[in-house]
Amino acid sequence: MARDINRRLDALKTRRRGTDRVGSITMDAAADVLAKRYVTEKYEELAAGKPYTRYALGSMQEVDPEYTRIGIEEATRVGNQLDKQLPQQGIAVKFELQGSVPCNIHIRGVSDVDLLVLRTEFVTTDPGVGTYSTTSISPVAALRELRSNAERILRSSFPRADVDATGAKAIAISGASLRRPVDVVPSHWHDTADYQRTYDRDDRGVKILDNKQGVTLLNMPFRHIKLVTHHDVQALFGLKKAIRLCKHVKNDAIEEGRAINYSSFDLASTLWHANLAAFAAGTHNELAILIEARRFLDELYHNTDKAKSLYVPDGSRKVFDSEAKIEGMKLMSYELDDLAKEVAFEQASYAKTLYENNWQELDRISRTAAYKL
């Protein structure tokens, strides 16, 4: 299916402003979102007559912090209901956020917020260190009990909301009085060997229930956020812009009919290995961020051995641990190639005739622009 830049600009606008998801939030919140749909964002005033450039620049920007604040408030509100009632069932819990919202790499004004509900009386540790618990049941049984009670409490506390418990890892709640969708994730702490040495929260893991497979899965969400943010600072805040850009491009490609098996987590983990100094050049011209993201994925496209050697930031697994992910990365590389070419063509009318397949010249042309929000 052909790429339609005007459709992509419309999708970018509705995604960032949340108008694509007004049906999943309370009527008052939806009215607020709709009232802001005509507000012009800074990126929309740049690159007149250059829609591909405007799309690239807009896709990099963070979501309005007000939207993010509301999402965190609603996750806290859901957590408060669980915190009031779960102890009455003999289940002690704590709450944390994970995912794209606390990392500030989400791309939607109305974004799902992942709320970890951690059963605190059950803690596992790395092999050889031991497991400690005040319950006599297994980790899976403990989390299934937590999940069952959490589902019941959510249905009773938010009777008009849509509570979807069909997912393997999360109970999704949205609508009615909720201003944002929240994914409730039953879990418990996993004290890694690093955590037991440092007592640094970022070194502490969580075990998440996969209810369909009947297993628990180890995640290191706080370490991931810390490491991505650390590289983002080194890149003068260009890394997270690159991640948001690629997430928007991926979403639009999928909506246009191209299946891309490449999760947002793996995409962020890939870009974490890119040239941070090249991303940092975006402080003068944000198109440099597109140039480096395209260049790095192109490098991995042509060197799959290198791609297969990359680990996710927390070191727990390789990024490309299946051939399907390699193929997804290659499709993303095609998408970025297409966008970067169109951006360069907009900067110089002669580029398409003289340099259509000369990336050195195309990148040089884009670097001479001076777009910065």
Number of CB atoms found within 10 A of residue 361's CB = 15
How many Å apart are CA 207 and CA 215, to the nearest integer? 9
Tokens of 154: 């959510």
Structure token digits, residue 246 = 């690629």
Q: Is pLDDT of 244 > 60? A: yes
Q: Over 70: is that where the pLDDT of 357 sits? A: yes
Closest CA to 293 of 329, 354, 223, 246: 246
> Interior CA angle at 14 toward 116 and 77, to 5°?
30
- Residue 122 has what pLDDT? 85
For 242, half-sphere exposure in the C-beta direction (CA atoms, 13 angstrom radius) is: 39
CA–CA distances in Å: residue 105 to residues 239, 242, 340: 10, 9, 21
Query: Average pLDDT, whole number, for the chain?
Result: 93
Q: What mean pLDDT is predicted for residues 157-184?
A: 95
Query: In the predicted model, is pLDDT for residue 342 greater than 60?
Result: yes
Amino acid sitting at position 33:
V
pTM, to two decimals: 0.94
CATH assignment, 66-219: 3.30.460.10
- So where are the chain's domains? 66-219, 225-367
Structure confidence at residue 19 (pLDDT): 83
pLDDT band at 2 (very low <50, low <70, confident <90, very high): low
User: What HEC string does 302-347 produce?
Assistant: HCHHHHHHCECCCCCCECCCCHHHHHHHHHHHHHHHHHHHHHHHHH
Whether pLDDT at 1 is above 50: no
Per-residue pLDDT tens over the stretch 196-240: 889 999 999 999 999 999 999 999 999 999 999 999 999 999 999
- Rounded to an integer, the average pLDDT of 14-30 is 79
- Percent of the chain beyond pLDDT 90? 84
Please report which confidence band the pLDDT of residue 121 belongs to, taking 50, 70 and 90 as the band edges.
Answer: confident
Q: 48-102: per-residue pLDDT in tens?
A: 999 999 999 999 999 999 999 999 999 999 999 999 999 999 999 999 999 999 9
Q: What is the pLDDT of residue 57?
A: 97
Average pLDDT over residues 138-152: 95
Which residue do the tokens 């812009």 mark?
241
| 120-129, 144-153, 339-348: the lowest-pLDDT one | 120-129
Task: Give the per-residue pLDDT at 126.
Answer: 85
Q: Determine the average pLDDT of the residues in 310-324.
A: 96
Q: Decide if pLDDT at 132 tops 70.
A: no
Please give the residue that has the higher pLDDT: either 373 or 170. 170
